Amino acid sequence: MKNYKTQMEAAKKGIITEELKRVAEKERMEPEKLLTKVASGRVVIPANIGHMALSPEGVGEGLSTKINVNLGVSGDCKNYAVELQKAELAARFGAQAIMDLSNYGKTREFRRKLIAESPAMIGTVPVYDAVGYLEKDLLEITAQDFLKVVEAHAKEGVDFMTIHAGINRRAVESFRRQGRKMNIVSRGGSLLFAWMEMTGNENPFFEYYDEVLDILREYDVTISLGDALRPGCLDDSTDAGQIAELIEIGHLTERAWKKDVQVLVEGPGHMAMNEIAANMALEKRLCHGAPFYVLGPLVTDIAPGYDHITAAIGGAIAACAGADFLCYVTPAEHLRLPDLDDVKEGIVASLIAAHAADVAKGIPNARERDSQMAMARKNMDWDEIFRIAIDGEKAKRYFESTPPADRHTCSMCGKMCAVRTTNLILDGQKVEFCSEK
C-alpha cells in the first residue's frame, strides 16, 4: 500500500514512483536526479490518482518545454463532439496537456470522457464551471460552493487546476491604485474580482486556501496558481497589479509545498519582447523556482488573426529564458472560439516555440530531429523529410501541389538546387542544366 499521498511527498521520502520513473525515461534523466527536483518543487508531475489513461509528464527545470491546448464549449458555441475532435488532434501532435475551459451547461459528462480517454494531463479552471455546475448566479455562490466545485473536479480525475488565489485584497488595492488601460482580462480573475466587489468578501480561494490544498492533496492534483492580474496589453505589463499578485503567489507556493501539493505558477499575458527575460527571472525568484506556465506572452497587440505567431515569438523567448510550460494561442484568440484548423495552427506554433527554446537551452537530445532533418534534406529524401517534420502532412501537400520535373528537387530551384549541385560535384559528376539528360 502506498505510504504517500502526492508525487511531491513521495519524492521527499525518497520514493521513486511509477510516474516519476516513466517521466525520467522520457526525459532521459536519471530517476534520482529527477527525484530531487520533484522534492524541491522545481519539477511537477501532475498525475491525479483517478486519471488511469494518463501518460505522465514532467514540467520544470531541466526538462523539455511542454505545451498545453485549451478547448471547451461556450454559450455561443456548444458542440462537444467538435471539442473531442480537438482533443484527438492535440494527442496526434503530441501536446502534453489539455485544459477544458468549458463555461456553459453541464460539463461533467464531457470532462469525464476527456479524462477517461486522454493520455495528456487534464487541467480545468473550477471557477469557470461554478455557475453552470451549481446552477446559481455569481452573487448567490458562497465560498464553500466554490470549494465544492474544486472537490468535484478533483474526484473526476483532473490533474491540475487553475486556482486564482493570488488576487486578494492587497493585490486588488495595487491594481486599483495604479490603474490600467485594459483592466482585468483573465476570465477567472474577473469573476472573482466581481464576486469580491459585490459581496465585500475576501477571495474565497485565498481565505480558505488551506481547505483547497487539503482537497488537492487528497487526489494529488497540482495547483496552477492563476495570474488573475496578468497584462492584457503591452501598456499594462510588469505593473504594480501584476507584481503584487506574483508576490502573493510566491507565498502561496510555499504554503502548498508544506502540504506536499505540487505547484505551477501562471504568467503573462501581453508583454514587449525586451521585458520577457526579466519577468521569467522575477517569477523564478519570487516563486522559489516553481515551474512557470505562460500564456504567450503575446509580443504585440495589433495582430488579431495571427496571434498564434505573436505568442510563438513570445513563448520561444520565455521558454529560452526559463519558462517551462507554454499555453498555446490560436489565430482565433480575441476573436472567436477556435475551430479545428485554428487549433492545429496554435498547436504547431507552440511546438515550434517549445522546440526552438529546448535547442537553445541545450536540453538533452533536443537537436536530434534537426540533425536528422539536415541529413534527409542533404539526401533529398522527401519521405524522410515528411516523417521528421512537425506537420509532415502539410509539408507533403505543399511539395506535391507544384510537383517538380525531377522528384529529387523541389519546384523552387529545380535542377539549380544548391544541394543537388554540391552533391553532384562532391560525387565527381558534372553539373548540366541545358542538356536534355
How far the first Cα of the chain sits from its last, in Å, is 74
User: 44 - beta bridge partners?
Assistant: 59
Residue bearing cell 488573426: 305
Nearest residue to 188 (alpha-carbon basis) of 153, 146, 219, 156: 146
Nearest residue to 296 (alpha-carbon basis) of 332, 335, 267, 255: 267
What pLDDT is recorded for position 105? 67
The grid coordinates of residue 2 equal: 502506498
CB atoms < 10 A from the CB of 317, how many? 24
The grid coordinates of residue 161 equal: 487546476
**Residue 27 annotated as binding site:** no
What pLDDT is recorded for position 135? 84
Binning the chain into helix, strand and coil, the percentages to the nearest 5 are: 50, 10, 40
The grid coordinates of residue 113 equal: 470522457
**Residue 112 annotated as binding site:** no
**Residue 227 annotated as binding site:** yes
d(CA 142, CA 155): 20
Confidence class of residue 275 from pLDDT cuts 50, 70 and 90?
very high
What pLDDT is recorded for position 434? 80
Taken in order 122, 128, 132, 133, the sign of the CA dihedral is: positive
What pLDDT is recorded for position 436? 52
Question: Within 13 Å, how many C-alpha atoms sit on residue 414's CB side?
Answer: 6
**Residue 128 annotated as binding site:** yes
**Residue 356 annotated as binding site:** no
* Residue 437: pLDDT over 60: no
**Residue 77 annotated as binding site:** no
Note the pLDDT tens digit of each residue in 144-153: 999 999 999 9
Note the pLDDT tens digit of each residue in 124-135: 999 988 887 888
**Residue 116 annotated as binding site:** no
d(CA 246, CA 266): 9
Q: Are 299 and 310 in contact (CB under 8 A)?
A: yes
Region 1-25 average pLDDT:
96
CA 95 to the chain's CA centroid: 9
What pLDDT is recorded for position 193? 98
Confidence class of residue 403 from pLDDT cuts 50, 70 and 90?
confident
Beta strands in 152-248 (DSSP E): 160-163, 222-225
- Tell me how far apart the 2 most distant CA atoms of the chain are, in Å: 85
SS3 98: strand
Question: Within 13 Å, how many C-alpha atoms sit on residue 310's CB side?
Answer: 22
Confidence class of residue 435 from pLDDT cuts 50, 70 and 90?
low
d(CA 295, CA 312): 10
Mean pLDDT of the chain: 95
d(CA 91, CA 296): 21
Q: Would you state the CATH architecture of domain 7-361? A: Alpha-Beta Barrel (3.20)
**Residue 239 annotated as binding site:** no
* Residue 407: pLDDT over 80: no
Q: Where in the chain is the domain with CATH 3.20.20.540?
A: 7-361
**Residue 293 annotated as binding site:** yes
Nearest residue to 385 (alpha-carbon basis) of 91, 377, 196, 393: 377
Q: In this predicted structure, which of 67-76, 83-92, 283-292, 390-399 has the lowest mean pLDDT?
A: 67-76
Q: Are 145 and 155 in contact (CB under 8 A)?
A: no
d(CA 284, CA 395): 38
**Residue 29 annotated as binding site:** no
Note the pLDDT tens digit of each residue in 216-254: 999 999 999 999 999 999 999 999 999 999 999 999 999
Query: Helices 187-199 and 126-134 meet at what angle, rounded to 10?
Result: 60
Q: Which amino acid is at 350?
A: S
**Residue 70 annotated as binding site:** yes
**Residue 154 annotated as binding site:** no
Cis preceding-peptide flag for 157 (omega within 30 of 0):
no
Burial tier of 120 (Cβ tally within 10 Å: 0-12, 13-18, 19+): buried
Nearest residue to 125 (alpha-carbon basis) of 104, 149, 142, 143: 149
d(CA 220, CA 4): 10
DSSP 379-425: TT-HHHHHHHSTTHHHHHHHHHHS--SSTTS-TTTGGG-HHHHHHHH
What pLDDT is recorded for position 347? 98
* Residue 390: pLDDT over 70: yes
What pLDDT is recorded for position 18? 98
Note the pLDDT tens digit of each residue in 59-105: 999 999 999 999 988 767 778 889 999 999 999 999 999 999 987 76
**Residue 308 annotated as binding site:** no
**Residue 270 annotated as binding site:** yes
What pLDDT is recorded for position 78? 76
